[in-house]
Structure 1
Amino acid sequence: MDDTHQEVTSLVGREVYSNNGVFVGEVEDLKLNISEQTIEGLALGNLNAELFQEEVNAGQGVIVPYRWVRSVGDVILINDVVERVRDPDEEESDEIVA
């Protein structure tokens, strides 16, 4: 049995929280790089309306870079997404894609 394949599909449906314990959303799909066989991002739905009001109102999701993921267990923990979303003027190359 291919453990990597099983792990990738098991990410769908998991809740995502920031390191600060703030609910961000739920994994609906994955952004994959087929040629490199890597996960590039998590496509989130069921978003926290306080963080993503515009996207929630438009019925859209967001994709967070997989490099933000800090741990995967019963839930997925990602880096300080709250600060990055609330401070869009910060000079940072990481962006959330709607």
Structure 2
Amino acid sequence: MNPETAPQEITTLVGREVYTKNGVFVGEVEDLRLDLDVQQVTGLALHQINGELFDPEVSASRGIIVPYRWVQAVGDIVIVNDVVERVHEEGNGEEEVAA
């Protein structure tokens, strides 16, 4: 089995830093949200989040959950699309980015 295509344990995501595709730090993966019915990761629970991207209430909370559909790439770090930055710029707190 090719090591590049071999399935990895989802726990390997825990502790990885998360950045937007523009290079802005978002936070660090603390846990995963799973849908056990379909055996799929549905979100990344982040802590140590970038306080500049989120409202003070969110920054003061324990963390956020980023929908897994926003993930663009996983390697030594996790890359998410820039929707997190756009939410901040527009002042539009999308419901799924929550503590």
TM superposition score normalised by structure 1:
0.82
Match of 1:49 in 2: 51
Contact 2:20 2:81 in 1 (8 A): yes
Contact 2:58 2:98 in 1 (8 A): no
SS in 2 for 1:42: strand
CA RMSD of aligned residues (A): 2.0
Q: Aligned residues, how many?
A: 92
2:29 to 22, 27, 30: 27
Structure 1 unaligned blocks of 5 or more: none
Q: Amino acid of the residue matched to residue 51 of structure 2?
A: A
Contact 1:65 1:94 in 2 (8 A): no
Deviations 1:41-77 (A, max 9, x none): 00000011111232222x3210000000000000000
Match of 2:3 in 1: none
Identity of aligned residues (%): 50
Structure 2 unaligned blocks of 5 or more: 1-5
- Within 5 Å, give how 1:46-85 maps onto structure 2: 46-52=48-54, 53-57=56-60, 59-80=61-82, 81-85=84-88
TM superposition score normalised by structure 2:
0.81
